[in-house]
Amino acid sequence: MSLQGWLENNWLVKHRTSAEEIASLLAIVERDLSNSQVAGLSPDWRLNIAYNAALQAAGAALAAAGFRAAREQHHYRTIQSLAFTLGWTAEKIGQLDNFRKKRNIGGYEIAGLVSEQEAGEMRELALALRDDVLAWLRKNHPKLLRR
Amino acid sequence: MGSTIPSPETLPPLFGKTRQALLALLYTHPDEPRLQEQLIQSAALGRGTVQRELEFLVRAGIARRTVQGRQVYFQANPDCPIYPELRSLIVKTAGVADVLRAALAPIAARIRAAFIYGSVARSEERRASDVDVMIIGEVTFAEASRALGSTQKTLAREVNPSVYPPAELRAKLAAKNHFLRTVIKGEKIFLIGDERELARLARK
């Protein structure tokens, strides 16, 4: 499979991005990375915010590659697309996807489910992803990175 | 940890190998009719032995046999008077708990207590029920998810770990965290440690 194959399966839609769009996605990533450590927020919510930072970072890479995930399973596809954009390993993608599942339970079903430990781990993963996305953009799509 | 009560891991003292294998296959997925052929393959035992045992289980009312066209299916019999007891016994021993316990083995040294909670522990699961696992110890969520990841295929359902270091567990219980209090008070199937160890961890 490839992103082109995903497009044929209607898992992705073609998307023409711009330096402005990438900049605003990266701004969301930074905002959420910073908000994910605000004291006084519950770990459920901090995990949610750090997860959103990761999702937007993955979405920025996908946009730079010329696509966005279709509406159905949007989060899942955006996360899995990291294999084709950044070349993330199945293990790292699996880690992020496990947080997606946890967020679904912690965010919508059970309050107080997420531990400090888990929220912290999600933030670390989002930071690592942000760094990888920036390095990848610099190398592969330097024009999309406005100075 | 420090427990003197051995946790039941398998059923051999109660049942023979074939009966144990078939009960585990039928009673961990009670809503799912299993093809006779599939049971023979999964049990990895002789065809004749499996067929005789299945006949016995049907005669005893523990399993149900249905025929569809040329296919013969077997399924746990929910009308069996001891169905709830048998099911709970299987889940706690040869079923889900065994699979999870084995999967946690590589990181078990850093886990103080681990147990199944939620609908599976309360024996009210339906086929699609997720298995919720609470892990208290010095492991990361990533390690726990990795260890338990492969069991999702074996059990054909989602396994959701929650990881709490002992200090955080105590702090949250002291702060009356509703979720943790409910889990600690609720039904559990222990994978590592036991109720006494958990009480000790919560109190310390």
At which residue do the structure tokens 């726990």 appear? Answer: B144
Give per-residue pLDDT as tens, A60-81. 999 999 999 999 999 999 999 9
Structure confidence by residue, pLDDT tens digits, A21-62 = 999 999 999 999 999 999 889 999 999 999 999 999 999 999
Measure the CA–CA gap between B146 and B136, rounded to whole angstroms.
16
Residue B114 pairs in a beta bridge with B135, B192
Which one-letter DSSP state was computed for residue A143?
G
Q: Cβ of A109 under 8 Å from any chain B Cβ?
A: no
State pLDDT tens for residues A84-105: 999 999 999 999 999 999 998 8
Report the pLDDT value the prediction gives residue B5, as an integer from 0 to 100. Answer: 37
Q: How far apart are CA A129 and CA B102, in angstroms?
A: 32
Higher pLDDT, B21 or B6: B21
Give the residue from chain A lying closest to B142, CA to CA: A95
* A46 neighbourhood in chain B, CB within 8 Å: none
- Is B127 within 8 Å of chain A by CB? no
How many angstroms away from the CA of A95 is the closest CA of chain B? 6
Show Cβ contacts of residue B185 under 8 Å, excluding neighbours closer than 6 positions.
Answer: none
B179 contacts in chain A (CB < 8 Å)? 110-113
Distance from CA of B152 to the nearest CA of A (A): 12
Distance between CA atoms of B96 and B118, rounded to whole angstroms? 13
- State whether residue B117 sits within 8 Å of chain A by CB: no
| Cβ contact B74:B42 at 8 Å | no
Contact across the interface for B163 and A115, Cβ inside 8 Å: yes
Let me know: does B154 contact B99? Beta carbons within 8 Å. Answer: yes
What b/e readout covers A20-33, taking b as 16+ CB neighbours within 10 angstroms? Answer: ebbeebbebbeebb
Kindly determine whether residue B141 and residue A118, on different chains, have CB atoms separated by under 8 Å: yes
- State whether residue A102 sits within 8 Å of chain B by CB: yes
On chain B, the residues whose CB falls within 8 A of the CB of A105 are 160
pLDDT at position B158 is 86
**pLDDT value of position B43:** 76
Average pLDDT on B94-121 reads 88
Q: Which residues of B21-60 are buried (b: 16+ CB within 10 A; e: fewer)?
A: bbbbbbbbbbeebbebeebbeebebeeebbeebbeebeee
Mean pLDDT of B150-173: 89
Q: Which of B111, B117, B132, B162 to mutate to test the interface with A (most CBs of A within 10 A)?
A: B162
Asked if the Cβ–Cβ distance from B168 to A110 is below 8 Å, we say no
- pLDDT score at B7: 40
* Identity of the residue in B145, B163, B180 whose CB atom sits nearest the CB atom of A112: B180
Q: Which residue of B has its CA nearest to A100?
A: B160
Structure-token match 């929220």, residue found: A119
The reply to whether CATH 1.20.120.330 applies to domain A3-141 is: yes
pLDDT in tens, B19-75: 888 998 898 878 889 999 888 887 778 899 999 999 999 999 999 999 999 999 999
The predicted pLDDT at position B118 comes to 82
Residue pair B159/B151 in contact by the 8 Å Cβ criterion: yes
Contact check, Cβ <8 Å, B158/A91: no
Please answer whether residues B144 and B135 qualify as being in contact, where contact means their C-beta atoms are separated by less than 8 angstroms.
yes
HSE-CB at A49 with a 13 A cutoff on CA atoms is 18
Residue B1 pLDDT: 38
- Cβ <8 Å between A118 and B177: no
Global confidence as pTM? 0.75
Cβ contact B32:B75 at 8 Å: yes
Q: Tell me the shortest Cα–Cα distance from A101 to chain B, in angstroms.
A: 8
Task: List pLDDT tens digits, range B125-142.
Answer: 554 578 899 999 999 999
Question: What pLDDT was estimated at residue A12?
Answer: 96
Inter-chain CB proximity B141 and A110 less than 8 Å: no
**Closest chain B CA to residue A94:** B146
Specify the pLDDT at position B130. Answer: 82
Span A143-147, average pLDDT? 82
pLDDT at B120 exceeding the cut of 80? no
**pLDDT computed for residue B41 by the predictor:** 84
Residue A113 sits at the chain B interface (C-beta within 8 Å): yes
Q: Structural domain boundaries of chain A? A: 3-141
B167-189 pLDDT per residue, tens: 999 999 999 999 999 999 988 88
A-contacting residues of B 132-171, CB under 8 Å? 140-142, 145-146, 149, 158, 160, 162-165, 168
Q: How many CA atoms lie within 13 A of A126 on its CB side?
A: 32
Q: What is the mean pLDDT of residues A117-131?
A: 97
Q: Are B33 and B66 in contact (CB under 8 A)?
A: yes
